[in-house]
Structure formats: structure tokens, C-alpha cells
Structure 1
Amino acid sequence: MTNSTVKTGAAKRPLYQKILVIACLVSVVGGSLTGIMTYINVGFRESFFIDWLSSFAIAVLVMAPAGLLFMTMISKSLEKLLPNAHNMLRQVLTGIGMAFVMESILAVSTTANLTGFTNADVFISTWQQAFLAALPFGLCIGLTMSLVLKPKLEKFMAS
């Protein structure tokens, strides 16, 4: 690369690199959370990996677009609601909000996949157990994403 290319940022990252980074991120986050939720819903049984894989596949189809949408909505809402707040506070609140929203979506999709909707009481109870079991990990992921990875990811995607 020449000095002018480096200074102007004319060299863009190939699209496949951006897709790979997002795919890895979605796989780690979605795979971990649906794994926890699958274990809470059905335990470790002979069909655990098939159960987890089907829940993970559904989650990927739902989580990636929903995650981008909700991250943007939460960030923009917090900017309007707390315009004078320190950026770090908004990032922490975004991370916590993302954890609750994404955990809820993943718990619904995983529970629906594994237990179905035939009995509302069972569904709600199972959803709640899965949500609460995965919440500590989800909060760690949400805070890490909003405080550390999101700024780096935005720079990477812009390059």
C-alpha cells in the first residue's frame, strides 16, 4: 500500500472478511446462549446436540437481524433520553438493554423449539428458567459488546 492509500483509507476490507467476523460473533454468542438454554430446557440427553443445533439455527435466523435492529434502537433511544449523559453510561445501559432483549428473544425461540406452545404454563415456566439461567452470561456478553466490541466492530466494518 502506498502512503496515500493508508492516509485516505481508500483500501477497503473485502466483504467476506466482514461477513466472517459477524458470523463468528453470532455463532459464539448465539451458540453459547442457546446451549445454556437448551440444557436448562431439556437437560443433557441423547438428543441434546440435535436439540441445541435446531435451537441455534432458529436463533441465528432471528438473532442476527434482531440484534442489529435492537442495538440501533436502544442506542438511539438512549441518546435522545439521556443526551447529556456520559457515553460510558449510555454504553452500559445499551449493554444491559441488549442482554434483556436478546435473552428474551433467544429464550422464546429456544423454548418454543423444544417444548412448543401446547401448555402455556409449561412454556412460561420453561422460558423463565432458561432466561434466568442464561442471563448472567448474557449480561457479560451485552456489556462486553457495548463497551469493547461495538466500537472496534464499527471501525472494522467502516474500513
Structure 2
Amino acid sequence: MLSLIAVLYAFNLYFIASTANNVTVALLQMLPSNNTKENILIADKYCCQAAQLNADIALIPEMWNVGYSALFPGYNALNEQPVRDWLELAVDRCSSFIAHFRALAIELNMAIGVTYLEKHANGTLPPKNSLTLIDRFGREILHYSKVHTCD
């Protein structure tokens, strides 16, 4: 219940600056690649399309920087190296990945819910499955991480 309240609270913060009575949310349905840079380009394209359709918020699919598929091709439970490689792709909230979407939100004048595999603050615990909601001014207005870890 607390996270739902936080989401509603965050949306209220966003829409105080808006005169619109309706909120248009673009739920972006796109396939990730196994490459973070390619995933940024894919998300850019879809966010631009959402903005052209007058969306107020574009929501990117879960763990977009890595995509769930990054771990699984060729996965072998006896070989831990693919898992370590996947976990090394985790980013923090100050990363260039997040900064890119802050700039894009400003450019498109649209809020973006960006999802990613987030490094744990102390660097020793498993990464988190996180979402940062960025308002149309490029400000972080909500950060949420799922309770379960990605290990």
C-alpha cells in the first residue's frame, strides 16, 4: 500500500504543474537487445513516438538497461560467469543511463519511468530491480526498487 500511495503522490506532484484533467500514459511495448546502448536507442525512438502522441508519461519495460534476456541465452547453471557478467551491467542512480533519460524527458517535455538493474549502494549486495520516475523537467520524483533482489 505504501508504494501505491507514493506513486499517486508522485503523480500529484507532477500534475500540479499541469492544467490537464486527463493523464495519458504510454506503456511502451518493445523488445530489448542484449546491449545497453542499443536499448537506449530503442527507448529513445519509442519515447519520441509517445511524445508525438501527446503522452504525459512514457513507461519503459522492466529492467530496460539489461533486458531480462541478457542473462538467459546460453545460460548454464554450472557456469557462473554469465551471471557475473549480467550483474556487472547494473548502474547507479547517478549513471549516464539515468542522465540520458533526464535529458530526454526535458527535450520531449514528458515524464519518463525508466527501469534498470540498479547497483546496491554498498556494492556488495545483489543489485535491485528499480524504477525512477523522471518528470518533464528532468527531476527525479519517485524511486522504487522491488523487494526481491536479482541474484
Higher helix share: 1
For the criterion TM > 0.5, the same-fold answer is: no
Structure 1 or 2: more strand by fraction: 2
Relative to the length of structure 1, the TM-score reads 0.30
* Relative contact order higher in (CA < 8 Å, ≥ 6 apart): 1
Structure with higher Rg: it is 1
